[in-house]
Homo-oligomer: A and B are copies of this chain.
Amino acid sequence: MSTIKHVAITGGTHGNELTGVHLLKYWREHPDEVARQSFSTELHLANPKANHLNRRYVDQDLNRQFGLNDLNNHELCGYEQNRAKALNALLGPKEDPRVDFVIDMHTTTANMGMSLIFNTDDPMVVGMAFYVQQKMPHATLFYDPNERLDDNFLTSLGRYNGFLIEVGPIPQGLLRADVYLQTREAVQHCLDFLELWNQKAVPELPSEREGYRFLEKVQLPENEAGELTAMLHPDLQDQDYQEIAPGDPFFMTLSGETIPYPGTTPVYGAFINEAAYYDAHVGLSLMEKITIPYRR
C-alpha cells in the first residue's frame, strides 16, 4: 500500500480563482493547520503571473499542460507551457515524482457547490472522495478517468495522483467567505484522510456512492462568423447535476426562442455557463450518473 511522504497543496492554477491563492497565503502564516505527523506539506502558488494579472492564464490554460508528452516537448514554450515544466521540475518529474500527492484548489462560476474531481479509481483517491463527502455531505463526486501519465491536470504530477477541489458559484477575481471556508475545510479533510491512510486507520467508508462521470463538452450555437447566436436556456442555468431529458429547454437564442436538448437519452449538466469556457463558446459539460465503487 502506498505511503504518502510529501503532499503539495496548490492554488492559483487559474490566476483569477482567488480562493486558493488566499488560502495559501493564510497557511503560510499558519502552517500548523496543514501540518500532519506522517507527511510533509508544501504550498505552491501555481501560476503567479496570471494571478498578478488577475487572469485565468497568460498564454494557455495551465491546467491542461501536464501530459507527459507535452512536458517533454520543448517546442511548447508558451508561458504556462514553461510554467508546467518548472512545476514538473519542482514536484515531479512526472515519470518518478518527488511529491506523492497533489491537492489543487479551484473555483467555478457555475452552480456546482463543492465538487470533488478525481481522475482515477485508485482506492486512496476514491477513499478520499468518500471521506470528504462523509464530512461534507453536500459535496458531489465528479469522476473523469484518465491515465496519470497522459492526464494533463496539475494533480497528475503526484506519484499517487491527486485531488481537485472545485467550489462554486463564484465570479472570477474575488473572494467569497463561504467558498473560502468550504475549501479550507475540504482541504483539512483531505489531509486528515492522508494521515489516516498512512496510519492504516481509515474509518469505515461506504462500498459505493453515487457520482457523475464526464461525457463531453457542448458548444454554444454560433453563426458562420463564429459569433454566439444563443445562450444557455434560463431553465438550465444553475441546474448543475440535474437531469436534462431529451426535448428539455437547452439553449435560448438572442431573440428569445427556445432550442431543446437534441440528445436521445437523459444526461446531467455540469460547468453550466462557466465563464472560463466562454471564449471557446463551451456552454456546459454533459455527465452521466454512475455508481462509484470503493475497493479498498
A255 on the B face (CB < 8 A):
yes
Q: Pick the contact of A177: B26, B30, B172, B232 (CB < 8 A).
A: B232
A279 and B171 form a contact (CB under 8 A): no
In the bound complex, CA of A169 to CA of B54 (Å): 20
Name A9-29 residues within 8 Å CB distance of B.
18, 22, 25-26
| Residues of B close to A252: CB separation below 8 A | 177
Q: Which of A18, A180, A254 has the most CB of B within 10 A?
A: A254
A231 on the B face (CB < 8 A):
yes
| Residues of B close to A98: CB separation below 8 A | none
Q: Which of A175, A181, A234, A276 has the most CB of B within 10 A?
A: A175
A273 on the B face (CB < 8 A):
yes
Question: Chain A 16-50 against B: per-residue CB contact (8 Å), 1 yes, 0 no?
Answer: 00100010011000100000000000000000000
A234 and B25 form a contact (CB under 8 A): no
Number of copies: 2
| Residues of B close to A245: CB separation below 8 A | none
| Residues of B close to A233: CB separation below 8 A | 177
Name A221-237 residues within 8 Å CB distance of B.
227-228, 231-234, 237
| Residues of B close to A232: CB separation below 8 A | 175-177
Contacts A231-B180, A234-B181: A255 and B175 contacting too (C-beta < 8 A)?
no
In the bound complex, CA of A237 to CA of B181 (Å): 13
| Residues of B close to A22: CB separation below 8 A | 228, 254
B177 and A237 form a contact (CB under 8 A): yes
A255 and B30 form a contact (CB under 8 A): yes
Pairs across A and B, CB under 8 Å, 26 listed: A18-B278, A22-B228, A26-B254, A26-B255, A54-B279, A169-B171, A170-B171, A171-B172, A171-B275, A172-B172, A172-B275, A173-B275, A173-B276, A174-B273, A174-B278, A175-B232, A175-B273, A176-B232, A177-B232, A177-B233, A177-B237, A177-B252, A178-B234, A180-B231, A181-B234, A181-B256
A178 and B237 form a contact (CB under 8 A): yes
A254 and B181 form a contact (CB under 8 A): no
Question: Chain A 203-237 against B: per-residue CB contact (8 Å), 1 yes, 0 no?
Answer: 00000000000000000000000011001111001
| Residues of B close to A198: CB separation below 8 A | none
Closest to A258 in B: B177
